[in-house]
Structure 1
Amino acid sequence: MGKKDKKPEPAAPAAPFNNPFAGLAGKREELPSRPEPAKAPEKAEERKGPARAVVRMERKGRGGKEVTVVEQLGLPLAEREVWLKALKGSLGCGGVVEEESLVLQGDHRDRLPALLEARGVRRVVVG
């Protein structure tokens, strides 16, 4: 038998078949321009939060488990619950409100001051 003939490769199509966006290229000039970004106020408003917070780690009375305690926030109970939920989500841990303090599971003394300052606490004391 003889050599097999090679089939010629099909030519690439000149334009994409059924491109739904092809007709939009000509309408680009009709689109509205981007709005100007809003100017930032000259005086930045500070977040109002507690004046002070004391952060400490304790193990006593907890079966050897480490917890981080945030004290002296001076927040009402409802607001303490909101702060606790936000801190637990940011730190990825559990926690509870005990009397006037927030108790977070684990040792978070290194990460907690930055989170508290971002929430408006003016002075954070780590003990």
Structure 2
Amino acid sequence: MGKRDKKDEAPPPGPFNNPFAALSVQRDALPAGPPPPEPRGSAPKPEPKGPARAVVRMERKGRGGKEVTVVEQLGLPAAQLDTWLKALKGGLGCGGVVEDDTLVLQGDQRDRLPALLEARGVRKVTVG
């Protein structure tokens, strides 16, 4: 009687036969693996280097009564001003433009802007 008939076998439990189902019971008996690596963000970040200061003020004159927030005295080259403007517009959810060596952002952003500037490395933010 070496071979068993397929008719004598019990049907597999559940909707299908999972050959790895018996292994899940033995999972607790496995030895502990190496500890997980530390997240990369846990190391203290070096302070981002940025301009020494920035002056933030609100302006309406010459703009048809519309409010804009002006960021002056950053002392950045023109290429970096475009990069900073794009990042600030994305962070604030507003429009803006570079005029001469200043950033002009739409709306009154004086409350939210200093935190973003400090995160980009500006050491002193003066709000006027």
Letter in 2 for 1:88: K
Q: 1:40 aligns with which of 27, 37, 43?
A: 43
Q: CA separation of 1:93/1:23 partners in 2, compared to 1, >3 Å: closer, same or farther?
A: farther
Code of the residue aligned with 2:94 in structure 1: it is C
Displacement of 1:22: 3.5
* TM-score scaled by length of structure 2: 0.74
Partner of 1:122: 123
The residue number in structure 2 matching 1:98 is 99
Unpaired segments of 5 or more residues in structure 1?
A: 1-14
* Percent identity of equivalent pairs: 68
Structure 1 23/108 Cα, relative in aligned 2: closer, same or farther at 3 Å? farther
Per-residue CA distance 1:8-66 (angstroms, 9 max, x = gap): xxxxxxx542386746625684895443316726xx52110000000000000001000
Cα 1:17–1:71 shift into 2, 3 Å: same
Question: 1:73 & 1:19 partners in 2: Cα distance?
Answer: 68
Q: What SS is found at the alignment partner of 2:105?
A: strand
C-alpha distance in structure 2 between counterparts of 1:71 and 1:19, whole Å = 70
Aligned AA for 2:127? V
Distance 1:92 1:23, change over 3 A: farther
Q: CA deviation at 1:124?
A: 0.1
Paired residue total: 112
Residue pairs, 1:47-126, within 5 angstroms: 47-126=48-127
**Which amino acid is the alignment partner of residue 64 of structure 1?**
G
Which stretches in structure 2 are left out of the alignment for 5+ residues?
Answer: 1-12
What is the RMSD of the two structures over their aligned residues, measured on CA atoms? Answer: 2.7
Return closer, same or farther for 1:27/1:66 CA change in 2, 3 Å cut-off.
same
Distance 1:125 1:109 in 2: 10
